[in-house]
Amino acid sequence: MKQFDYPDEVAAVLERLRSGGYEAYLVGGCVRDFLSGIRAKDHDIATSAKPEEVKGVFHDHTVIETGIKHGTVTVLSGGSPVEVTTFRTDGEYPDRRRPSEVSFTDSVVEDLSRRDFTVNAIAYSPESGLIDPFGGVDDLKSKIIRAVGDPEKRFSEDPLRILRGMRFASVTGFEVEDYTAKSMISSGHLLNFVSAERIGKEFTDMICGKAVEDVLLRFRDIVAVIIPELNGSFDHDQMNPHHCYDIYTHSVRTAAALPSEPVLRLAGLLHDIGKPETFSVGPDGVGHFYGHAKISAEITEKVCLRLKLDSYTVRMVTELVRRHDYMIEPEMKYIRRAVSKFGEDLFLKLMELKRADGLAADPGDPTKQDLITKLISLYEQMVEEDLCFKIGDLAINGDDLIAAGIPEGQRIGRLLDACLQAVISDELQNTHDVLISYAIIENQKNI
């Protein structure tokens, strides 16, 4: 095995605990990631020392009692925080959220047995090498997610593990072992007992994974527990020549075709969530979904708020869904108008969503892709030529209007906006004198 490579501050904590007479191991995500050749984002240590003993060993360090009830303290080692958790066996989970009590144990194997998946239940120390009682190393090699112990029991103790399983499968591209997968699906309803914050966070991480398409399709019954509003999309034939997939499959493929970013992936999954409600069939037998973007946006906002996503995410996902069918002609003035209306962030994300939506609708039709490519290149030209698309880009500001004799007040904002619209439509040049004269005339018209 390649030398296990971790920061000196982490090595120092392991060594201090060991020379104090305690066992200490790296555990969980960092061991999994190291064995997979991925750089770990943090390093968790498990030890036989009780929390008070850890504090004693590090009496000359800053120790923060981050989760002392659950046996976790954070040691500041060489300026870096390192989490140290006492070996535990979790007690009962009466509310299916957190263990009601934790008991500490001297056995690292017992500590590993309370962990969720075999690939997360491997410990390592420089003295003992890998400790792998549940075959995690083999599962890592075979790229398998498998529950530690009896999956049904483990998922009913803490149903969040169901979603963690989906998250790991999506992020790593590993296959969920059959019995574990069946138990995830049959226990999925228990996610109703888990707090919205925990679900929202795992769901967001899951949807950003590279294998999101497989995971959302295989575990759609679990998705429906979290977002029951998607139920009507399952197997819903669109009866439309532009669509070769049912609504849900199309939505999943849209999400998967987007860059791995929460706002975009969520918008992809939810953009047609209102379609079943608006479905109608024309006299020619073709399916239509009139007004579905608006209804989809309303449902999307409810879903995002329920999952307690942050306010930027709620706003952006909802706006993207609301605008996903907005038509923009490939002409500079329409691009400038759209960027002015939406702002650059939303405009660029909208282009991504439209591209993915087109790809997932009818992968054989290149016309939509060509249109998006054209729109983006016009946008790039607009930026390149420094063309005006917002009030701040105008050659005048409010003070110039006041200096020209227009009284202060709301009118100033309206006049600046009128100037902007005229500049965007190429009716006016963006120069000081032209805009001031235009504003004075407009002002007189409206008195």
Dist CA 88 CA 400 (whole Å)? 69
**Single residue of 161, 218, 220, 355 touching ligand ATP by CB under 6 A:** 161
Dist CA 307 CA 197 (whole Å)? 6
Dist CA 112 CA 131 (whole Å)? 9
Q: Which does 115 bind (CB under 5 to 8 A by kind): Mg ion, ligand ATP, none?
A: ligand ATP
Dist CA 282 CA 197 (whole Å)? 42
| Contact letters for ligand ATP, residues 39-58 (x by CB under 6 A) | --x--x--------------
Q: Interacting stretch for ligand ATP, rule CB under 6 A, among 10-18, 114-122, 291-299, 314-322?
A: 114-122
**Short-list 69, 23, 70, CA closest to 49:** 23
**Between residues 44 and 357, which has the closer beta carbon with respect to ligand ATP?**
44
Alpha helices in 177-291 (DSSP H): 178-187, 196-207, 212-218, 220-226, 247-256, 262-270, 275-278
CB of 108 closer than 8 Å to CB of 114: no
Q: Interacting stretch for ligand ATP, rule CB under 6 A, among 153-161, 242-250, 252-260, 341-349?
A: 153-161
Dist CA 334 CA 175 (whole Å)? 46
**Between residues 163 and 418, which has the closer beta carbon with respect to ligand ATP?**
163
Q: Which does 330 bind (CB under 5 to 8 A by kind): Mg ion, ligand ATP, none?
A: none
**How many residues contact ligand ATP, by CB under 6 A?**
11
**Between residues 29 and 67, which has the closer beta carbon with respect to ligand ATP?**
29
Q: Residue 79's CB: how many other CB atoms inside 10 A?
A: 7
Minimum CB separation of residue 116 from ligand ATP in Å reads 4
Dist CA 26 CA 111 (whole Å)? 12
The alpha carbon dihedral of 246, 248, 250, 253 has a sign of: negative
| Contact letters for ligand ATP, residues 117-146 (x by CB under 6 A) | ---xx-------------------------
**HSE (side-chain half, CA atoms, 13 Å) at 315:** 6
DSSP state of 281: E
**Single residue of 23, 111, 116, 272 touching ligand ATP by CB under 6 A:** 116
Q: Interacting stretch for ligand ATP, rule CB under 6 A, among 72-80, 115-123, 176-184, 369-377?
A: 115-123
Residue 115 within binding range of ligand ATP, rule CB under 6 A? yes
Minimum CB separation of residue 39 from Mg ion in Å reads 13
Residue 158 within binding range of ligand ATP, rule CB under 6 A? yes
**Between residues 41 and 59, which has the closer beta carbon with respect to Mg ion?**
41
**HSE (side-chain half, CA atoms, 13 Å) at 332:** 14
Measured between alpha carbons, how far is residue 357 from residues 178, 219, 320, 368 in Å?
32, 22, 12, 9
Residue 67 within binding range of ligand ATP, rule CB under 6 A? no
Residue 160 within binding range of ligand ATP, rule CB under 6 A? yes
Is 391 exposed, middle or buried, given 0-12, 13-18 or 19+ CB atoms closer than 10 A?
A: middle
Dist CA 58 CA 163 (whole Å)? 36
List Cβ neighbours of 59 (8 Å cut-off, separation of 6 or more).
Answer: none
Residue 218 within binding range of ligand ATP, rule CB under 6 A? no
Minimum CB separation of residue 47 from ligand ATP in Å reads 14
CB of 35 closer than 8 Å to CB of 140: yes
Task: Point out which residues bind Mg ion (CB under 5 A).
Answer: 29
Minimum CB separation of residue 230 from ligand ATP in Å reads 25
**Between residues 44 and 213, which has the closer beta carbon with respect to ligand ATP?**
44
**Between residues 160 and 255, which has the closer beta carbon with respect to ligand ATP?**
160
Binding site for ligand ATP (CB under 6 A): 28-29, 41, 44, 115-116, 120-121, 158, 160-161
